[in-house]
Amino acid sequence: MQFFLLQATVNNAENYLPIVLQAIFSIGLIVTIIIGSNFLGPKRKTADKLQNFESGIEIRGNARQPMAIKYFLIAILFVLFDVEVIFFYPYAVNFRELGWDGFKAVLLFVGLFLAGFIYIFRKGALKWED
């Protein structure tokens, strides 16, 4: 029984030709299907088709009613602080290799993190009641 070793190939433009051809074909197919359905599909505009569909529920009132900005503000702040907490993971994994310089960097990061939290707290961004 003979074993063959895989030979290392050099990456060049020829190696990516099949991927480029597949991407071009896919994009072309999508564009052709969209344009073809637009030209070949029926165009019957009736009152029932033009009416908004709300999953079988009768439409009441205007959908463009104002909504409290607090929901969006809390959501954005949650995402912001949640992403900042993710940056603690690399430090936790490599804290021995980073040494005191890494510890100082994390202290600076936590200080800025807390400064931002104190700022939004003092501005009243976390208060529900107006």
pLDDT for 96-127, tens place per residue? Answer: 888 888 889 889 988 988 898 899 888 887 77
In a domain, 102, yes or no: yes
Question: What pTM was computed for the model?
Answer: 0.43
Domain residues for 110?
69-122
In the predicted model, what is the mean pLDDT of the chain?
81
In a domain, 53, yes or no: no
CATH assignment at residue 81: 1.20.58.1610
Percent of the chain past pLDDT 70, that is, above it, reads: 85
The token pair that represents 49 in the structure block: 């088709």
Question: What pLDDT band is residue 5 in, cutting at 50, 70 and 90?
Answer: low
In a domain, 84, yes or no: yes
In a domain, 78, yes or no: yes
In this predicted structure, the answer to whether residue 29 has a pLDDT above a threshold of 60 is yes
d(CA 21, CA 43): 34
Q: What domain count does the chain have?
A: 1
In this predicted model, what pLDDT tens digit does every residue of 34-62 receive, in sequence order?
A: 999 989 988 888 887 777 766 767 767 77
- Tell which wins on pLDDT, 16 or 62: 16
pLDDT of 126: 76
Which CA distances in Å does 59 have to 53, 56, 62, 88, 126? Answer: 8, 9, 8, 48, 34
pLDDT of 56: 67
Cβ atoms of 103 and 109 within 8 Å: the answer is no
d(CA 43, CA 73): 43
